[in-house]
Chains A and B, each alone.
Chain A
């Protein structure tokens, strides 16, 4: 800048332009830090370690994101030995000591992913490069999860996926640095189909409305396969854009399609809207082909059931976890979450919390933050006590194999949170499958890619 000579008008323009930037840049730089060491990306050298929380705080899945944030804050408090310890007391086996991770206090940075893959990826990059996050976790959409997982593989940072249900996350798009605790659409299909067969018979015509992205596509495929194996026929499968608010244009054609079951492959606000509008359309009072018209929501959470209110009563779906389970893990988690926030946790909160703990536990067992060692500690790890019974982190595809819940909208809820009933708990041997069916390639753990 000093190479410019005095007296040039442009020069003043330029120089003062910079002054302008600096002047307006009075921002909170005090908050930022950037210290990275040599051996691997964001090797924590101080006495703290940073988690990067990538959360959809706005957009279609915002409610899940907000619940996940609460769960992460709780998990981090418990890891640091604050609060009542939550699931630290029931995890089996556990290497956690309640003094942070490897003696380092856990802190976090967060970023709003807006339920958009692009934004999620930019946020994760920022948390890795600027804030020195050792691990990225969170997300409530499979689109986000797959995008961020690819990035984490590129950067050599472990990604503990939050709520993501697409088969692709641990199927065709699986990555060595990505791990998923949540179940997937294929397992929903295996779990849900027998219950549907029992309740609705084996001669049904199904009509799918599907959220138009990776999760919707794979769920439609899985549910289609599972119901067709029962003897159902698929009349049509229509894609709806993520974040649509008015479903009337999609609902009208169903009336004359000859279908007698509507399958909603929607989640979050999409599901609340499509289910409510379908019920308002009078779908559930209709008769088609001489049978009562039925609606099925293959993946449903308590937050959505609450949002849909009356409409959800009697409707079948599957869940990863439910707060009303009576094992010690679920009771402990519901208790500490309820004490902190005054409401029972959703399945999104549960999976987020468990992922944070599992990462911490793996680091403790590995004795280092070096990602390939942590990956080894997670792969094939068998644990219990987190509310889903015995669970295996499968080495072949980084998918947790555990039991799956079939749930039904509660006909007579006793409280605003008591909206889903657990109909059946499908044990993990039934929902396990051969990881090879989805293809994909984890890629190598070493050499560790080096970020920035």
Chain B
């Protein structure tokens, strides 16, 4: 076992697994222990982990990852419509399609690096969004969104003689995937995705990616052809995004073009930076925090605020409601922006850096005989 995984990695993985699987329990007091949000935690966690392979490990900042996410969703919904309501073929189909899509886009975009690469990916993603939104409406159903209907052909299901009444919903071997079943299904994939990312980061291939990040030119001078490595990272990360998109379609079988918009691409960048670029857990934590605040803050309205501030005297309560209402509901992005600015200024390494600092402070105060500084970590 120790040759397979280092002790630290194993503990990290086990700890992560326990935390994820126990989420319905420990998130319940926070008002987040309901299936839809938990599913989103898992799905965007996968998205962020995949994004981090490209951004955190390889150092390429893609501003167009939502395109792969959307492609995964559309592919999965089409699989539900044409083949079968079972989730497994849909996910395989989605991951393959988004991988191929990433291969094409990556091949073109990776000719440049730095800001030019970011702009190229942004351009491709925006093109994909517009295609989905208004050009390819026969495939994507545009703004209305692609949905399952009773009239879909579902060739495989029909061949097996299955019929449905009511609203068709995705299943796993006949088991419906709504609610907590959907959550554990997604959680399984997040744990798997995390494990693979961990293995990639610790492998010679991962070392190669880290080398590309620290100095690509030097790599080339020493005789390495870096393109295939960067492209592989790009495709893997695109497949992660496709997997996340497919899971979103499994838990909620509607694919809309909005999930491909540049704001969605920007969101995953925020998640990764907020959590901690280049760390394994950081992006997942970033994704959870953003989704959590999105769900909690955007649901607040003036009435709820008025109830919350009602302990204050009349005038002061109204004043507080007026002020705070700007930061909740449709204005929750203002809160996100503020939090983001604060994190980037004071903790450039994201929440994980905060965690490290706190840990270091504890160690110093805990035992005076401790070594003065923690081991420095390369490429982080």
A20 and B354 form a contact (CB under 8 A): yes
B355 and A118 form a contact (CB under 8 A): no
Q: Give Cα A17 to B149, complex, Å.
A: 43
- Chain B residues positioned under 8 Å from A123 (CB to CB): 299
What 1/0 flags go to A1-26 for Cβ under 8 Å of B? 10111001111111111111110110
Contact of A27 among B7, B34, B293, B359 (CB under 8 A): B293
Give, as a whole number of angstroms, the nearest-CB distance from A51 to chain B: 12
Contact of B19 among A18, A212, A443, A452 (CB under 8 A): A18
Q: Give Cα A3 to B13, complex, Å.
A: 12
- Chain A residues positioned under 8 Å from B258 (CB to CB): 116-119
- Chain B residues positioned under 8 Å from A376 (CB to CB): none
A29 and B30 form a contact (CB under 8 A): yes
Write the chain A residue with the least CB distance to B31. Answer: A32
B134 and A3 form a contact (CB under 8 A): no
B292 and A25 form a contact (CB under 8 A): yes
Within 8 A of B (CB), among A159-174: 172-173
A13 and B355 form a contact (CB under 8 A): yes
Task: Report, as a range, how many residues of chain B touch the other chain.
Answer: 35 or more
- Chain A residues positioned under 8 Å from B35 (CB to CB): 129, 452
- Chain B residues positioned under 8 Å from A142 (CB to CB): 144
Indicate whether B12 reaches chain A with its CB closer than 8 angstroms.
Answer: yes
B144 and A25 form a contact (CB under 8 A): no
Indicate whether B356 reaches chain A with its CB closer than 8 angstroms.
Answer: yes
B256 and A28 form a contact (CB under 8 A): no
Q: Give Cα A449 to B178, complex, Å.
A: 11
Indicate whether A367 reaches chain B with its CB closer than 8 angstroms.
Answer: no
Stretch in contact with the other chain, from B78-86, B163-171, B200-208, B222-230: B163-171
Give, as a whole number of angstroms, the nearest-CB distance from A109 to chain B: 7
Best-buried of B29, B130, B147, B308 by chain A (most CB within 10 Å): B147
What 1/0 flags go to B323-337 for Cβ under 8 Å of A? 000000110000000
Q: Give Cα A86 to B329, complex, Å.
A: 28
B308 and A20 form a contact (CB under 8 A): no
Knowing A111-B298, A154-B169 are in contact, say whether A13-B252 is a contact too (CB < 8 A). no
Stretch in contact with the other chain, from A97-105, A143-151, A423-431: A143-151
Write the chain A residue with the least CB distance to B169. Answer: A154
Indicate whether A201 reaches chain B with its CB closer than 8 angstroms.
Answer: no
Report the count of interface residues on A (CB-CB < 8 A): 72
Contact of A111 among B288, B299, B355 (CB under 8 A): B299
Indicate whether A125 reaches chain B with its CB closer than 8 angstroms.
Answer: yes
A239 and B134 form a contact (CB under 8 A): yes
A143 and B297 form a contact (CB under 8 A): no
Indicate whether B232 reaches chain A with its CB closer than 8 angstroms.
Answer: no
Give, as a whole number of angstroms, the nearest-CB distance from B257 to chain A: 8
Q: Give Cα A241 to B352, complex, Å.
A: 42
B30 and A117 form a contact (CB under 8 A): no
B297 and A27 form a contact (CB under 8 A): yes
Indicate whether B345 reaches chain A with its CB closer than 8 angstroms.
Answer: no
Knowing A147-B145, A443-B166 are in contact, say whether A11-B281 is a contact too (CB < 8 A). no
Indicate whether B162 reaches chain A with its CB closer than 8 angstroms.
Answer: no
Within 8 A of A (CB), among B1-51: 7-9, 11-12, 14-16, 18-19, 28-31, 33-37, 40
A residues whose Cβ falls under 8 Å from a Cβ of B:
1, 3-5, 8-22, 24-25, 27-32, 34, 57-58, 109-112, 114, 116-119, 121-123, 125-127, 129-131, 142-143, 146-147, 150-151, 153-154, 172-173, 175-176, 212-214, 239, 241-242, 441, 443-444, 449, 451-452
- Nearest first, the 5 A-B pairs at minimum CB distance are A32-B31, A213-B143, A118-B256, A12-B359, A29-B31
Given contacts A13-B356, A130-B37, 10 further A-B contacts (CB under 8 A): A9-B359, A18-B19, A116-B256, A117-B143, A130-B295, A150-B254, A153-B166, A173-B147, A175-B167, A213-B144
Q: What are 21 of the A-B contact pairs (CB < 8 Å)?
A: A4-B15, A9-B375, A10-B15, A12-B359, A13-B279, A13-B281, A20-B351, A24-B351, A27-B30, A112-B329, A117-B254, A118-B259, A122-B36, A129-B34, A129-B35, A129-B36, A129-B37, A147-B145, A172-B149, A444-B165, A452-B34
